[in-house]
């Protein structure tokens, strides 16, 4: 009985749907449907500029996703590095405190701490090439007169002496180079413990004076800042001896040395500013 | 409500599959008639009413997207749904061979119906002739071969919807 009702119900729906379908066919509704379809496409479809923009945005979106993934990976690496550095700082602080206590107990002279201020070289006069240069940091970066200026020497992979601050302005400073003829720097021959004096020569060479006449100094010896310097910390490389003069003058001989800071093109300088602690 | 959502999802999935994925999943340029397989499946499992209503709606949707005579597929799919729904008691629904035979019959009805309507109403509005050709025969073959896979997926889906796994 139920099945018979269901079948009859199905038949009625079938006839209704067929009638409606044939009405659509006979009524030739295709052109009207096409018009409606075209209208919908016209409204819904973007123009060339918008489509272009959508494609570009999609491309950018994919790039952004990619860079987000890379950034995430990079961030993880930095977090790990940061953690390592934090551990080092914590250990350093413990050792520093221990060092303070010990130096107080033993009455030792404490090491002078310095912080590095990086500056760009903003001007260098061709006529006074070996005398001065101007850096883009000044009082606003806590710079003051007579602070040592060094440069990172790529070939030696270390900081090398370059000069000292002579004049300071609000956002710039004038640096007197060690090659300037007014400059004199106490130096020593590395590993030989011979103290002498480096004098500027207004060229890429400096004159090394007060070398004891009997001392074994030869070409190729390295010159570093001696502990007598009131500007530079001890041991900073200065240059290398190129020529030792044979003639002596009151038990001293002289030599010519090439400075390290001129071996590369200079763009940046590092100013060593003393501070209480790191 | 659950039944309605399932029907709606099937409608969306099969329309997307039929209208937008033709260029990606085809065999030598011939794309199976997924909608026809679904209508046959509904006729065999749900009966006349579900199959004919689904057939009519799918046909109408396809008519909107195509450039053929509007209402033609709606009528043919309604007939296919009605016939398969009427036959569901006379066949062993679990037999793969029976399913293949029904899908083949449904395909033949579909293509003969198509050809008949074009014969009665000459193809002034149509973009192509749709009488049974070698390509149509190949399409029927592809549809018949793919039908058991679609039936299997739909069976699994029905079990999943019912909650019997």
Q: Are A200 and A257 in contact (CB under 8 A)?
A: no
**Spatial distance between the Cα atoms of A37 and A43, rounded to a whole number of angstroms:** 10
pLDDT bin (cut points 50, 70, 90) of residue B163 is low
Contacting residues of B for A13, CB less than 8 Å apart? 48-49, 52-53
Q: Are A258 and A240 in contact (CB under 8 A)?
A: yes
Nearest CA to B109 out of B134, B152, B78, B71 is that of B78
pLDDT of residue A263: 64
The 3-class SS string of chain B reads CHHHHHHHHHHHHHHHHHHHCCCCCCECCECCCHHHHHHHHHHHHHCHHHHHHHHHHHHHHHHHHCCCCCCHHHHHHHHHHHHHHHHCCCCCCCCHHHHHHHHHHHHHHHHHHHHHHHHHCCCCCCCCCCCCCHHHHHHHHHHHHHHHHHHHHHHHHHHHHHCCC
- Give CA B150 to chain center in angstroms: 11
pLDDT bin (cut points 50, 70, 90) of residue B125 is very low
Q: Are A229 and A83 in contact (CB under 8 A)?
A: no
What single-letter DSSP state applies at residue A261? T
Instruction: Tell me if residue A145 falls in helix, strand or coil.
Output: coil
Nearest CA to B53 out of A12, A67, A128, A264 is that of A12
Facing A30 at nearest CB: one of B48, B59, B69 = B69
Subunit contact A17:B48, Cβ cutoff 8 A: no
pLDDT of residue A110: 66
Contacting residues of A for B85, CB less than 8 Å apart? 10
Subunit contact B75:A25, Cβ cutoff 8 A: yes
Could you give phi then psi for residue B94, rounded to 5 degrees?
-85, -10
* Nearest CA-CA distance, residue B95 and chain A, Å: 24
**Exposure of A193 in the CB half-sphere (CA atoms within 13 A):** 0
pLDDT of residue A116: 84
Contacting residues of B for A4, CB less than 8 Å apart? none
**Spatial distance between the Cα atoms of A238 and A263, rounded to a whole number of angstroms:** 12
β-strands A268-275, A113-123 pairing: antiparallel
Q: How far, in Å, are A35, A106, B30 from residue B63 at the CA level? A: 14, 99, 19
Question: Per mean pLDDT, which range of A39-48, B14-23, B122-131 is the poorest?
Answer: B122-131
Contacting residues of A for B121, CB less than 8 Å apart? 25
Facing B75 at nearest CB: one of A7, A18, A29 = A18
Structure tokens at A97: 């405190």
Q: Which residues pair with A148 in a beta bridge?
A: A164
**Spatial distance between the Cα atoms of A54 and A50, rounded to a whole number of angstroms:** 6
Report the 10 Å Cβ neighbour count for A38. Answer: 10
- List of residues 6+ apart from A273 with CB closer than 8 A: A114, A115, A116, A117, A142, A143, A147
pLDDT of residue A9: 80
Classify burial at A212, counting beta carbons within 10 Å of its beta carbon; exposed 0-12, middle 13-18, buried 19 or more. Answer: middle
Contacting residues of A for B46, CB less than 8 Å apart? none
At B88-120, the pLDDT tens digits run 777 776 777 888 888 898 888 888 888 888 887
Interface test with A, best of B51, B56, B67, B71 (most A CBs within 10 A): B71
**Enclosing H/E stretch for A176:** strand A173-177
Q: Does A14 reach chain B within 8 Å, measured CB to CB?
A: yes
Facing B52 at nearest CB: one of A13, A24, A27 = A13
Q: Are B120 and B75 in contact (CB under 8 A)?
A: no
pLDDT of residue B122: 66
What is the pTM for the complete model shown? 0.47
Over chain B, what is the mean pLDDT? 81
Q: Does A19 reach chain B within 8 Å, measured CB to CB?
A: no
Subunit contact B48:A10, Cβ cutoff 8 A: yes
Cα-based torsion angle of the residue sequence A243, A244, A247, A248 in order, rounded to the nearest 10 degrees: 140
Subunit contact B125:A10, Cβ cutoff 8 A: no
**Spatial distance between the Cα atoms of A269 and A118, rounded to a whole number of angstroms:** 6
Q: Does A46 reach chain B within 8 Å, measured CB to CB?
A: no
Q: Are B161 and B5 in contact (CB under 8 A)?
A: no
- Helical axes B48-65 vs A2-26, angle rounded to 10°: 20
Say whether domain A112-278 belongs to CATH 2.40.10.340: yes
Subunit contact A21:B49, Cβ cutoff 8 A: no
Subunit contact A10:B47, Cβ cutoff 8 A: yes
* Nearest CA-CA distance, residue A55 and chain B, Å: 19
Interface test with A, best of B56, B59, B70, B109 (most A CBs within 10 A): B70
State yes or no: pLDDT of B123 exceeds 60.
Answer: no
Taking residues B32-43, report their average pLDDT. Answer: 89
Give one word for A251, left, alpha or beta, with left for phi > 0 and alpha for psi -120 to 50: left
Q: pLDDT below 70 — which residues of chain A?
A: 1-6, 45-46, 110-112, 248, 263-264, 276-278
Q: Are A152 and A159 in contact (CB under 8 A)?
A: yes
Structure tokens at A116: 């590095």
Task: Give the CA diameter of chain A.
Answer: 137
Q: Which residues pair with A184 in a beta bridge?
A: A199
Query: Does ipTM exceed 0.85?
Result: no
**Spatial distance between the Cα atoms of A208 and A226, rounded to a whole number of angstroms:** 13
Facing A29 at nearest CB: one of B56, B71, B121 = B71
At A70-116, the pLDDT tens digits run 999 999 999 999 999 999 999 988 998 898 888 888 887 766 677 88
Subunit contact A25:B49, Cβ cutoff 8 A: no
Structure tokens at A88: 């080092």
Contacting residues of B for A30, CB less than 8 Å apart? 67-70, 125
């Amino acid at each position: 009985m139920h099945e018979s009702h269901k079948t009859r119900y199905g038949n009625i729906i079938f006839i209704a749907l067929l009638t409606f379908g044939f009405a659509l066919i006979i009524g030739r509704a295709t052109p009207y449907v096409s018009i409606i379809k075209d209208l919908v496409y016209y409204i819904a479809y973007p123009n060339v500029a918008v489509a272009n923009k959508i494609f570009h945005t999609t491309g950018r979106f994919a790039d952004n996703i990619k860079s987000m993934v890379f950034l995430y990976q990079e961030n993880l690496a930095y977090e790990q590095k940061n953690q390592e550095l934090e551990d080092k700082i914590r250990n350093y602080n413990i050792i520093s405190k221990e060092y303070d206590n010990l130096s107080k107990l033993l009455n030792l002279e404490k090491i002078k701490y310095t912080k590095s201020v990086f500056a760009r070289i903003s001007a260098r006069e061709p006529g006074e090439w070996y005398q001065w240069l101007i850096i883009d940091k000044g009082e606003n970066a806590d710079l003051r007169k007579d602070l040592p200026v060094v440069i990172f020497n790529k070939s030696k992979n270390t900081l090398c002496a370059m000069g000292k601050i002579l004049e300071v302005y609000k956002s710039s400073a004038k640096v007197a180079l060690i090659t300037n003829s007014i400059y004199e720097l106490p130096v020593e021959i590395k590993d030989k413990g011979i103290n002498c004096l480096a004098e500027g020569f207004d060229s890429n060479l400096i004159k090394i004076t007060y070398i004891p006449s009997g001392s074994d100094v030869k070409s190729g010896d390295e010159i570093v800042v001696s502990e007598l310097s009131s500007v530079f910390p001890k041991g900073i490389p200065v240059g290398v001896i190129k020529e030792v003069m044979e003639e002596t003058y009151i038990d001293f001989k002289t030599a010519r040395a090439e400075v390290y800071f001129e071996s590369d093109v200079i763009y940046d300088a590092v100013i060593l500013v003393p501070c209480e602690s790191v | 409500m659950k039944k309605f959502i399932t029907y709606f999802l099937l409608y969306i999935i099969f329309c997307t599959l039929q209208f937008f994925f033709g260029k990606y999943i085809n065999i030598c340029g011939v794309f199976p008639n997924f909608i026809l397989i679904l209508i046959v499946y509904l006729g065999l499992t749900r009966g006349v009413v579900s199959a004919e209503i689904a057939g009519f709606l799918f046909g109408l949707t396809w008519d909107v997207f195509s450039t053929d005579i509007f209402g033609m597929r709606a009528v043919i799919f309604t007939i296919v749904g009605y016939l398969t729904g009427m036959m569901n008691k006379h066949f062993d629904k679990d037999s793969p061979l029976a399913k293949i035979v029904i899908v083949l019959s449904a395909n033949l009805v579909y293509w003969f119906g198509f050809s008949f309507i074009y014969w009665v109403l000459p193809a002034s509005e149509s973009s192509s002739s749709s009488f049974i050709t070698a390509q149509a025969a190949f399409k029927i073959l592809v549809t018949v071969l793919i039908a058991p896979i679609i039936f299997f997926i739909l069976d699994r889906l029905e079990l999943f919807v019912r909650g019997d796994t």
